[in-house]
């Protein structure tokens, strides 16, 4: 198997984080999630975190320059040398261009782009039901994947919380942002002949199977 470098694109709540985490464990490659990295910056009250929070709370994109330099730094870390899965980056054409340039610089020429395609209304329902463990980050869904004990993590017993940007009005704004800023990437990568589409409305396991079989096809041989 060749080194796996995967870019996951999809609207909020399409299951990028869930799928990226499964893939990352299966192939032992880091999941690089710019949303998680930014939330960590906010939690640590860094300069970047305080700048990013203003946008994140409104469901808007953090400015390209901030996210691009954060991601470029992350790609230089040692673990990214064995492959990676990018979850939530790129999200604009400017970010895709920057990534292209970075890949050329790092002499990376084989990577795959997967679009997780979903129905908007069902996602809005699913996202408003999303809860995250405040300690280990495990993701639950109060409708489809509830914890055994109400609002408590099965793995570590810490409390669950709802992300500020998972409130319904914010979700709608994030979709609007996705359709105007990120959806153009579908054409961007499809023109380059690099786009693979995965229908992601179903069960986590079935969607994962489709992703794995695409990975095996693209990176085998
Ligand atoms: P996520 O966890 O991927 O849904 O990201 C949560 C929020 O972080 C987004 O709504 C944006 O405000 C911000 N964010 C994450 N990734 C990016 C990115 N690549 N570009 C700009 N903003 C981002």
Claim to verify: residue 99 and residue 205 sit in the same structural domain = yes
Judgement on whether residues 89 and 63 belong to the same structural domain of the protein? yes
- Please check whether residues 136 and 42 belong to one and the same domain: no
Helix H or strand E segment including 147: none
CB burial string 103-136: b at 16+ within 10 A, e below:
eeeeeeeebbbbbbebeeeebbebbbbbbbbeee
Residues lower than pLDDT 70 in the chain = 221
Give the position of tokens 């990568």: 189
Both 153 and 60 in one domain: the answer is: no
pTM of the model: 0.86
Tell me whether residue 82 is one of the annotated catalytic residues.
Answer: no
Chain segment 103-113, per-residue pLDDT in tens: 999 888 889 99
Residue 130 bears catalytic tag? yes
On whether both 114 and 134 belong to a single domain, the answer is: no
Same domain, 39 and 135: no
Query: Do residues 88 and 31 both lie within one domain?
Result: yes
26 CA to centre of ligand 1 in angstroms: 25
Query: What stretch of H or E contains 6?
Result: strand 5-9
Looking at the fold, whether 188 and 110 belong to one and the same domain comes out as yes
For ligand 1, atom 3, the nearest C-alpha belongs to 35
Ligand 1 pocket member 171 (CB < 6 A): no
Same domain assignment for residues 74 and 95? yes
Give the per-residue pLDDT at 46.
Answer: 97
Number of domains the chain is built from = 2
Q: Is 74 in the pocket of ligand 1 (CB under 6 A)?
A: no
**CATH classification of the domain holding 113:** 3.40.50.300
1 CA distance to ligand 1 centroid (A)?
31
The answer to whether residues 115 and 93 belong to one domain is yes
Please indicate, yes or no, whether residues 72 and 157 belong to a single structural domain of this protein: no
Tokens of 158: 């810490």
Domain that holds residue 192: 4-120+173-219
Say whether both 145 and 199 belong to one domain: no
Which pLDDT value is given to residue 221? 65
| Chain mean pLDDT for the chain | 94
């Amino acid at each position: 198997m060749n080194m796996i470098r995967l870019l996951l694109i999809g609207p909020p709540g399409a299951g990028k984080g869930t799928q990226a985490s499964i893939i990352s464990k299966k192939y032992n490659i880091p999941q690089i999630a710019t949303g998680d990295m930014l939330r960590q910056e906010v939690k640590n009250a860094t300069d970047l975190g305080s700048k990013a929070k203003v946008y994140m709370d409104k469901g808007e994109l953090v400015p390209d320059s901030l996210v691009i330099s954060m991601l470029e730094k992350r790609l230089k870390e040692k673990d990214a040398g064995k492959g990676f899965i990018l979850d939530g980056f790129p999200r604009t054409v400017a970010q895709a261009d920057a990534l292209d340039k970075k890949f050329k610089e790092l002499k990376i020429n084989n990577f795959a782009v997967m679009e997780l395609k979903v129905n908007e209304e069902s996602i809005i329902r699913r996202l408003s039901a999303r809860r995250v463990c405040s300690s280990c980050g495990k993701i639950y869904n109060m409708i489809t994947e509830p914890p055994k004990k109400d609002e408590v993590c099965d793995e570590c017993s810490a409390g669950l919380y709802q992300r500020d940007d998972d409130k319904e009005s914010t979700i709608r704004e994030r979709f609007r942002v996705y359709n105007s800023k990120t959806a153009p990437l579908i054409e961007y990568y499809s023109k380059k002949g690099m786009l693979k589409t995965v229908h992601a409305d179903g069960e986590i396991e079935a969607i994962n199977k489709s992703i794995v079989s695409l990975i095996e096809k693209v990176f085998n041989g």
